[in-house]
Amino acid sequence: MLVIQPRPQPSAAGGLDFSSLLNAAPTPPTTSSSIEPFVYYPSMSFEEAAAYNPHPRNMVQLLFAKEHLWKELHYHNPKLGMALGAVRNNLEEAVRVWQQYVVQGSIQKALLQTQHYHRDRDMKERLQRNPNDAEAVEYFRQQDNKKLVQQQYLQMMEEYPESLSKVLMLYIPARINGHEVQAFCDSGAQMTIMSKKVAMECGIFDMLDDRFQGIASGVGTGKILGRIHLVQLQLQSPDGVQYHFHCTITVMDDAVEGAKDMPFLLGLDMMKRHQCQIDLEKGVLRFRIPPTQHLEVAFLHEKDLDESQGGTKGFDAALANARWMQEDEGKNQDALDES
C-alpha cells in the first residue's frame, strides 16, 4: 500500500529563491529538523520523485540515497548530474545547485512570456488598424489553435497523466540453460527469436537445425540461421519457485538490424503455446500451468533493464559525464573554428 506523505510547505519567502542569481543576501538555510523526510516508494521514477519532493533539500537527499534515481538523472540530464556529482559531499552546495537549476528554468519561462506579451500587443494594434492584415489574422488563428491544444493537454494531464511518462517495452527476467536473459514480450511477432550471439552465450547454438534456414521479413529483412526445437525457458515465481516451459527458438544472424538490441524476443507462437496473458493492470505476464494454475512474472522496471533495452541498469554516470564533456568540448571547438 502506497502512503504519500504531505508535501513540504513553501518557505515564508513564497517559493523559489532568486537570491543566488540577483546577488542579494541568501535566505538562511532551513534546518533539517523543520523539513519532512523525502517521499519515496519502490520503483519510483525520476519524474515522480521530483513531483512528490518539491523541496530542493528533500530532492537532493533522495537522489543521493537512491542509486537508480541518481542514474536516471545522469541518463536524462547529464549536465545537471555532473554539476551535482561534483558537490556530492557537500549537501548545502548540492541544494544550491539544484535551486539554481530550477530558478534558471523559471526565469527562461518568464522571458518567453514577456516576449509573447509584446508580440501579442503588436498584433492587436495591427489588426485594429487593418482588420484584413493577413499576418495578424494568421497569428491569432495560430493562437486560438494553441489554446485549444493547451486545453486538450490540461484535460489529458487530469485524466491520463501517464501519457507523458516514458513507456517501456515489456520485458521479463528469464534463464535459458542457466544463462540470464531479458525476454522482450512481443505479441506482434510470429516467432520467438534469439540472436546468434545470445544462443552461443547460452550454450545452445550447437542444437541449431539449419534445415530451417530462411529469410525473415517484416519491418525489415534478415537471415534465419535455423531453429532450436526444444529449449527450457526457466522462470521464477514471486515466492522463489522455479518453473520450466518448453520453448522453440528461431536463431537470427547477428548482422540483422536490431538483433543486438533485441537479443531474445518471446513471440506469439510461444505465448499461444503456453496460453499467456499480458496483464497491464498488474504488470505481469501470466503463464498457464495445467490444469488450472498460473505463473505470474512481473515486467521489469527501468532500473532493472539494460541500457540497450531502454533502461538504466549498468549505466555508468562517470562515463556518461566524460562523454558529455567530450561532446561539449567538440561543439565549442567547432564554434571557434567557424568564428
User: Which residue is catalytic, options 120, 122, 144, 186?
Assistant: 186
Concatenating the DSSP letter of every residue in 87-115 gives TTT-HHHHHHHHHHHHHHHHHHHHHHHHH
Angle at 147 between CA 141 and CA 150, to 5 degrees: 145
Rounded (10°) angle between helices 78-86 and 317-338: 110
Cell of 72: 536516471
186 part of the active site: yes
CA 219 to CA 264: how far, in whole Å? 17
Which residue in the block uniquely carries the three cell numbers 526457466? 234
Residue 226 in contact with residue 213, Cβ under 8 Å? yes
CA 233 to CA 203: how far, in whole Å? 13
Longest dimension (CA), the chain: 82
Instruction: Give, in order, the Cα–Cα distances in Å from 122 to each of 111, 117, 118, 144, 302.
Output: 17, 9, 6, 17, 48
Which residues are identified as catalytic? 186
